[in-house]
């Protein structure tokens, strides 16, 4: 039985990408590799909807978040952080680990922050605002477009965790005034885990020049210096097969067209939620904050573990459970990246027979 990954990540990798990865190893200081790496960067700009550089690091999304913070700030800088779930809390924990002075906005899980709450808490002392776009643990989406419009022309860095949204939900980095935009390869970008992609504005690069937080491997300025070479490179040995695969996956997104990709995610998410409700199940997330890449479903009577195990054992479908205080109380099903209607129908059928 072929396993179907319907988790919020890692997600299914297209056969076309797997074949590309398996074609053989390249040396990373050759023109052949530089050509692929250059293509990847141009395709990343397309998906990030930016004219800025998008830096690539061998890392998970968490490493990308750490890189965003250590390159943007100096020890003791005051920042405002929004958390609506487990990954928002992680972003805050990283910031505190590096000695940043963090003012927190904590929103009840399942809901999104409001622009009014941001306006109420933001002061001239804040050097940056950090926020999760799509909170994977709760399937809720924050209004980053509105926040970006509010922050425009303010002397503050707008840093967004888009690990489980970019490539599945519309994010216009430049138009929305985002200074640092972080994602990873294994979610909506249809690639294996192991790469972090970070879009960086000119304002963010200026901050990187002043930052005094410790960094070596995750140094934005060094990564950009190598990226800007006539034959683009990485400062250190990159994850060559993953970069080859990611380039092919982004080529597939390019061929489908970004707007079509977003529409596919939206339509599949709407169908999935509606069919789940017809089963008599309830959704964990505030309807005003529904995600198009993941759905969180309330499960009572401790049945979450049984449903997860049954889907895997009898249907070959892998899903995720709750995190934090929701562990054992809900299941989370991803519908992002390389996903189609047949996969949604297969998952719905298995879920219906398991509840």
Annotated binding site: which residue ranges? 332
The span from the CA of 232 to the CA of 35, in Å, is: 8
The span from the CA of 8 to the CA of 132, in Å, is: 15
Are the C-beta atoms of 205 and 71 separated by less than 8 Å? Answer: no
C-alpha distances in Å from residue 161, one per residue of 57, 133, 249, 314, 321:
15, 6, 21, 35, 21
The span from the CA of 91 to the CA of 108, in Å, is: 16
Show binding-site residues for substrate.
332
C-alpha distances in Å from residue 41, one per residue of 86, 93, 199, 211, 316:
30, 30, 10, 25, 35
Strand pairing report for 330-334 and 294-298 = antiparallel
103 φ, ψ (degrees, to nearest 5): -95, 130
Are the C-beta atoms of 303 and 312 separated by less than 8 Å? Answer: no
The span from the CA of 139 to the CA of 8, in Å, is: 9
Helix, strand, coil shares of the chain, percent, nearest 5, are 40, 20, 40
Strand pairing report for 195-200 and 294-298 = unpaired
């Amino acid at each position: 039985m072929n396993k179907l990954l319907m988790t919020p990540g890692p997600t299914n990798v297209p056969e076309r990408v797997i074949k590309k990865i398996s074609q053989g190893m390249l040396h990373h200081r050759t023109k052949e590799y530089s050509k692929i790496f250059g293509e990847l960067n141009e395709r990343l700009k397309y998906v990030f909807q930016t004219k800025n550089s998008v830096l690539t690091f061998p890392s998970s999304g968490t490493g990308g978040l750490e890189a965003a913070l250590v390159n943007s700030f100096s020890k003791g800088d005051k920042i405002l952080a929004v958390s609506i779930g487990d990954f928002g809390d992680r972003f805050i924990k990283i910031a505190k680990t590096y000695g940043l002075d963090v003012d927190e906005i904590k929103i009840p899980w399942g809901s999104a922050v409001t622009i009014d709450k941001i306006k109420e808490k933001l002061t001239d002392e804040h050097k940056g605002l950090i926020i999760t776009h799509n909170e994977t643990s709760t399937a809720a989406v924050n209004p980053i477009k509105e926040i970006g419009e509010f922050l425009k022309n303010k002397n503050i860095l707008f840093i967004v965790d888009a690990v489980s949204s970019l490539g599945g939900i519309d994010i216009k980095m430049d138009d929305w005034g985002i200074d640092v935009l972080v994602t990873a390869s294994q979610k909506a970008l249809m690639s294996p885990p192991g790469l972090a992609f970070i879009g960086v504005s000119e304002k963010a690069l200026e901050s990187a020049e002043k930052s005094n937080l410790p960094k070596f491997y995750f140094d934005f300025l060094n990564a950009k210096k190598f990226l800007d070479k006539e034959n683009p490179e990485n400062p250190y040995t990159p994850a060559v097969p993953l970069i080859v695969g990611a380039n092919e996956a982004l080529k597939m997104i390019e061929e489908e067209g970004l707007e079509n990709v977003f529409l596919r995610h939206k339509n599949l998410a709407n169908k999935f939620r509606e069919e789940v409700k017809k089963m008599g199940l309830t959704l964990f997330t505030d309807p005003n904050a529904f995600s198009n890449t993941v759905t969180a479903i309330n499960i009572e009577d401790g049945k979450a573990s049984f449903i997860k195990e049954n889907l895997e054992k009898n249907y070959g479908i892998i899903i995720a459970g709750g995190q934090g205080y929701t562990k054992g109380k809900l299941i989370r099903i991803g519908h992002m990246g390389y996903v189609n209607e047949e996969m949604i129908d297969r998952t719905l059928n298995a879920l219906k027979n398991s509840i």
